[in-house]
Amino acid sequence: MPYPKNMNKNNSNMNEEQAKAKARKPKPGFLSRFFTSSQNLFSTMTRKPFLKQTLATLFLVFILYAIFNAFFYPTDSSAAFDATTFPSVLLAAGNSNSLPVKVFLYDLPRRFTYGVIHHHAMARGSRANLDDVASLKYPGHQHMAEWYLFSDLSRPASKRAGSPVVRVADPDEADLFFVPFFSSLSLIVNPSGLDKPVYSDEENQEALVEWLEEQEYWKRSKGRDHVIVASDPNAMYRVIDRVKNCVLLVSDFGRLRLDQGSLVKDVVVPYSHRIRTYDGDVGVDKRNTLLFFMGNRYRKEGGKIRDILFQILENEEDVIIKHGAQSRESRRAASQGMHTSKFCLHPAGDTPSACRLFDAIVSLCIPVIVSDNIELPFEDTIDYKKIAIFVETASAIKTGHLVSKLRAVTPDRILKYQKELKSVKRYFEYDDPDGTVNEIWRQVSRKLPLIKLMISREKRMFGKGAECACICRNETAIRTL
């Protein structure tokens, strides 16, 4: 068959045009090529046995899932590894790079500071001279935060290196104002059973607030940027409504109404532990007692559970539970008991918290907390589930429940609890250079943005709107946090 003369030429032109058209055609993207391949694979699989089709389908689903996550949910694998491989009892650490908050220490009339110490000593037969401050020693008791914070701010700046706050001499430079009234000591100046008290805590509370309300900086903020220690649950009870705008340092909220105190504006601080700190290492060999408690058996309100627990536990083998009031001999016996026990019971007292929790922590004795409404200090920093066992009250009063639960804890688990306790013990040591005092100041410092917000807000508000129910009563969006 004859061929046209120009056939090769035509073919050549055609090939050039096809090449140009192919060059102009955009290349399919990755997803297009992937889905085309998938369609071809599926069409091929329709001719294969059912098992092969199923395997191919699962493979495609896996590939699609991997692509979807890679594009829409990228992750930092190193961060994920760190978080799961190295879990810690410490939830957060202080930001050492942030600037210290500036605190002004009020120079209160002496009646509110050393005058309280003087009256306490006089009521117990001392003849200490009020004018000789060096001779006045603050007495030891379970609510000593007020003394340690005052002493810390009174030290030279050279001895306060690393503190989250810095003391300033000019109140105009201050972010916060510390009011060093010894409110908890003031409550116990008069010995119990005294016929004619020589000191009035209520009068001192009233006089303090009258003095504060005359101060320029109190008037400027209505007290919102002022810090007052009220760690005894009954401290400042007479005037609490007049100082409720302040940042209150409390042991719990057991005696405060919802409009007087809250975790939003206030700071929960530890009791001062009253027993000797355990200096030994972790271990179970020298801790032969399963559970230990020594304290008042009969308490009011939530503390009524103590009597029930006494009845349930007092006849249990390797359990020591006995009544004991505050005294030097009782503290010595409590130290011995906690240092030789695996677990230490912490039932509610007149309020949800009590000093025995903190005695247990510094003893490396695992706290067993039976107090449903307890608030704990520094809970944004410490994971208490790693250092304590929490038992609901309704379960704890069932015969045999508590002891059975504790006997089931293995020696290895006990050692792990002890190691975690040891790692956080400094947060409950007021004498530690980077212990309780620094952590309290760190917690107070974190309130500053909210304080500034509230002060600015009140400048534009009228009437009851300025009271801001959202802070104290949680009646706005804060409820959803």
**Helices (H) and strands (E) in the chain — how many of each?**
19, 11
**Domain of 325, in residue numbers:** 289-429
In a domain, 90, yes or no: no
Residues 58 and 194 in one domain: no
Q: Is the per-residue pLDDT at 387 higher than 50?
A: yes
Nearest to 387 by CA among 353, 349, 358: 358
Q: What is the pLDDT of residues 193-224, one digit of tens each?
A: 777 778 999 999 999 999 999 999 999 999 99
Classify residue 473 by burial, with Cβ atoms within 10 Å: 0-12, 13-18, 19+: middle
Structural domain contains residue 18 = no
Q: Do residues 363 and 332 share a domain?
A: yes
Q: What is the pLDDT of residue 77?
A: 37
Co-location of 233 and 365 in the same domain? no
In a domain, residue 456? The reply is yes
Cβ-based burial of 111 (10 A; exposed 0-12, middle 13-18, buried ≥19)? middle
Q: Evaluate whether residue 3 is within a structural domain.
A: no
Contact 290, 318 (CB under 8 A): yes
Q: Residue 112: how many CB atoms within 10 A of its CB?
A: 20
d(CA 393, CA 124): 40
Same domain, 390 and 352: yes
41 or 247, which is more confident: 247
pLDDT in tens, 130-174: 888 888 999 999 999 999 999 999 999 999 989 999 999 999 999
For the stretch 433-466, pLDDT in tens is: 999 999 999 999 999 999 999 999 888 887 665 5
| Average model confidence (pLDDT) across the chain | 83
Domain assignment present for 75: no
The tens digit of pLDDT for each residue in 269-286 reads: 999 998 999 999 999 999
Residue 56: band (very low, low, confident or very high) from pLDDT cuts 50, 70, 90: low
- The answer to whether residues 217 and 114 belong to one domain is yes
- pLDDT at residue 132, as a whole number: 87
CA 182 to chain CA centroid, nearest Å: 24
pLDDT attached to residue 32: 52
Please report, for the domain that includes residue 365, its CATH number.
Answer: 3.40.50.2000
Give, rounded to a whole angstrom, the gap between the first and last alpha carbons of the chain: 90
* 105 plus 247 within the same structural domain: yes
Comparing CA positions, the residue from 451, 447, 443, 449 lying closest to residue 381 is 443
Query: In this structure, are 32 and 180 located in the same domain?
Result: no
Query: What span, in angstroms and rounded, lies between the C-alpha atoms of 134 and 132?
Result: 5
Q: Are residues 113 and 168 in the same domain?
A: yes
* Mean local confidence (pLDDT), 114-122: 95
Same domain, 121 and 253: yes
Q: What is the DSSP string of 225-251?
A: TEEEE--STTTTTTTHHHHTTSEEEES
Contact 371, 353 (CB under 8 A): yes
Specify the pairing of strand 389-390 against strand 101-105.
unpaired
- The span from the CA of 170 to the CA of 102, in Å, is 10
Residue 474: per-residue pLDDT: 41
Lowest-confidence pick of 6-10, 45-49, 260-264: 6-10
Exposure of 205 in the CB half-sphere (CA atoms within 13 A) = 21
Residues 291-348 have pLDDT tens digits of 999 988 887 665 688 999 999 999 999 999 998 777 788 889 999 999 999 999 999 8
Between these two residues, 196 and 473, which has the higher pLDDT value? Answer: 196
Inside any domain, residue 193: yes
Q: Are residues 258 and 120 in the same domain?
A: yes
Structure confidence at residue 90 (pLDDT): 73
Q: Are residues 294 and 372 in the same domain?
A: yes
- pTM of the shown model: 0.78
Number of structural domains in the chain = 3
438 within a domain of the structure (yes/no)? no
Question: If you average pLDDT over each of 27-31, 353-357, 465-469, which comes out highest?
Answer: 353-357
Residue 346 belongs to some domain of the structure: yes
227 and 126 inside one domain:
yes
